[in-house]
């Protein structure tokens, strides 16, 4: 089966069978949201490797879909490491994350000699984390106008840092995002809609609803005719 990823975050279903006294076999469904960036096939393999009863999610009812709370994400910024010791922004605008009074902006400490030379921002706490630049994450772009103002764009496509930067520069934006002020960071890194993998896929030439990949967003459900 062809995958159209790396299509980001996956969701899986855990079915547990047990025997209760006088009730026979009982099946319990538990959904878990996994914040990883994989192709559909890799996501399926990941889920199935966890336990014999684990697989990509099957959504049985509307209430199942409504109960899913998927808001956590990580995204590339324009922050990168120079000479293994100093962090800079791809644009000339951005607060100094190297200053002692700005160390609280980091979610975890980083080591100058390691290979984590690019920085993501984590949605949950709006803090930065050093990561290997070849990792695949969502990203933010920044676009400047002729009037000196700027705006941010959230791109829910998983790419490496360099490819994300190329995407920004070739699609009307200036660069990967920098944040001159706290208010920019806090107003930009917020709840966003983004797609996740489920166990639904197109099989053969069947054009029923079950033959399509289901994209579940934070607050909405959409059908897609894109082949898996």
DSSP conformation letters of 119-141? EEEETTTTEEEEE-TTS-EEEEE
Helix (H, G, I), strand (E, B) or coil at 181: coil
- Phi, psi (5° rounding) for residue 211? -90, 0
Q: Is the pLDDT of residue 91 over 60?
A: yes
Residue pair 77/128 in contact (Cβ under 8 Å)? The answer is yes
Please give the average per-residue pLDDT across 22-31, as a whole number. 62
- 2 in Cβ contact with 227 (< 8 Å): yes
- pLDDT tens figures, 122-164: 988 999 999 999 998 999 999 987 777 899 999 988 889 999 9
* Residue 217 clears pLDDT 70, i.e. is over it: no
- pTM of the predicted protein model: 0.71
Quick one: pLDDT at residue 7? 43
Query: What count of other Cβ atoms lies within 10 Å of the Cβ of residue 142?
Result: 26
Phi, psi of 30 (to 5 degrees): -130, 130
Question: CB within 8 A of 94, min separation 6: which ones?
Answer: 78, 79, 178, 179, 180
Task: Please name which of 7, 62, 72 lies closest in space to residue 220, comparing C-alpha atoms.
Answer: 62
Nearest-angstrom CA–CA distance, 220 and 193:
8
């Amino acid at each position: 089966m062809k995958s159209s990823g790396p299509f980001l975050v996956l969701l899986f279903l855990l079915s547990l069978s047990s025997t209760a006294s006088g009730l026979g076999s009982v099946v319990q469904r538990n959904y878990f949201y996994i914040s990883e960036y994989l192709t559909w096939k890799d996501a399926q393999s990941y889920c199935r490797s966890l336990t014999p009863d684990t697989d990509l999610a099957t959504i049985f009812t509307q209430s199942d879909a409504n109960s899913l709370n998927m808001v956590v994400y990580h995204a590339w910024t324009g922050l990168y490491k120079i000479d293994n010791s100093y962090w800079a922004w791809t644009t000339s605008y951005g607060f100094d994350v190297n200053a002692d009074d700005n160390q609280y902006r980091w979610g975890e400490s980083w080591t100058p000699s390691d290979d984590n030379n690019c920085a993501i921002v984590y949605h949950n706490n709006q803090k930065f984390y050093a990561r290997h630049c070849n990792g695949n994450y969502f990203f933010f772009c920044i676009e400047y106008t002729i009037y000196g103002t700027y705006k941010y764009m959230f791109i829910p496509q998983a790419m490496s840092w360099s490819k994300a930067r190329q995407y920004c520069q070739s699609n009307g934006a200036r660069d990967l995002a920098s944040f001159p002020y706290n208010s920019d960071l806090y107003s930009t890194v917020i709840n966003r809609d983004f797609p996740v993998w489920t166990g639904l896929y197109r099989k053969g030439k069947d054009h029923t609803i079950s033959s399509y990949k289901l994209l579940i967003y934070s607050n909405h459900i959409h059908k897609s005719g894109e082949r898996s």
